Amino acid sequence: MNAGDPATKSIGAAGIVMAAGQGTRFASDVPKVMHRVAGRPMLAHVVDTGRAAGLDPLVVVIRPGMDMGSAAAGTVTVDQPPTGRGTAFAVETGLGAVPSDVDVVVALYGDSPLVRPATVRGVLKALLSLDAVAAVSWADVPDPGSFGRVRLAETGLVRGIVETADASADELALTTVNAGPAAFRAAWLRRALSRVRPSRTSGERYLTQLVDLAIDDGRRVAGYQITDLDETIGCDDLDRLATANAAFERRERKRRHR
């Protein structure tokens, strides 16, 4: 399934980029997604990925008054109200700008500039081929850190995701983590988002709770493994931003020497 392919267009896949994070760990007035990777705002890289994967429309959820310059050119921008918190709230906000005839919605993280279009298409393919209502990308990493942990079934389906703030000791020992884009059947997503409740520990409404809701509904959740761990880099502080810049330079060197 390639960008511009009739198969991509026929499923009517839209994208929602979650880009409203303040990025307080940067100690900067610059919005998190506007910090630069390879000389461009990281948001611009994510927008390019969404377009290359064939997502249309591409909705970017931002903070009110946020100046993005040309980083989100050609997208639909939506202000996230200050009345809610969490990734589920961000997607719910963006979903209002997605036409009702769209079949699938892909959620992208605005601080993950190294995700490739092929990964987005892989998540979409997993969703469709397994007749699932949701599909999440995951990776097996040596140091899971603050990543949400993914519980996998032997069939390759996903059994659940737990955020680190809510995880038990056994769950924190898992090295399979929630690592990137997620795709949802739009009709199911619209019904399910209102059922996502705030975390007891953080107060945030997590998008990952949709996995448990789907399983409770007796529906399938597909998994798609990301094997290039550079794609899992989320730039939520200056150290990770530097890591992303170094990874981008490695990627460009490999591309030039092919």
* Nearest-angstrom CA–CA distance, 113 and 32: 12
Dihedrals φ, ψ of 186, to 5°?
A: -60, -40
- State the residue range of the domain holding 142: 6-256
Q: Has residue 102 been placed in a domain?
A: yes
Global pTM reads 0.91
Q: What's the CATH number where 122 sits?
A: 3.90.550.10
**Tokens describing residue 114:** 């190294």
Element (H, E) at 164: none
User: Does residue 208 contact residue 89 with C-beta atoms inside 8 Å?
Assistant: no
* Nearest-angstrom CA–CA distance, 145 and 116: 22
Q: Has residue 62 been placed in a domain?
A: yes
Where does the chain have alpha helices with state H?
A: 6-11, 42-52, 87-95, 117-129, 169-172, 186-192, 209-216, 238-256
**Tokens describing residue 42:** 């990281």
User: Does residue 67 contact residue 79 with C-beta atoms inside 8 Å?
Assistant: no
Q: Has residue 58 been placed in a domain?
A: yes
Q: Which residue has the tokens 């100690």?
A: 27
State pLDDT tens for residues 238-256. Answer: 999 999 999 999 998 888 8
Q: Has residue 38 been placed in a domain?
A: yes
- The low-confidence residues of the chain, meaning pLDDT below 50, are 1-10
Q: What is residue 148's predicted lDDT score, i.e. its pLDDT?
A: 87
Q: Has residue 51 been placed in a domain?
A: yes
What's 38-63 look like in SS3?
CCEEHHHHHHHHHHHCCCCCEEEEEC
Q: What is residue 11's predicted lDDT score, i.e. its pLDDT?
A: 60
Q: Has residue 1 been placed in a domain?
A: no
Angstrom CA distances, 240 to 11, 46, 140, 155, 235, stand at: 35, 16, 18, 33, 5
Residue 61, beta-bridge partner list: 18, 78
User: Does residue 33 contact residue 111 with C-beta atoms inside 8 Å?
Assistant: yes
Strand-pair category, 176-185 with 104-109? antiparallel
**Domain count of the chain?**
1
Q: What is residue 255's predicted lDDT score, i.e. its pLDDT?
A: 82
Q: Has residue 74 been placed in a domain?
A: yes
State pLDDT tens for residues 157-202. Answer: 999 888 888 889 999 999 999 889 999 999 999 999 999 999 888 8
Q: Has residue 128 been placed in a domain?
A: yes
Question: Among residues 86, 88, 90, 110, which one has the least CA distance to residue 201?
Answer: 86
* Nearest-angstrom CA–CA distance, 210 and 223: 14
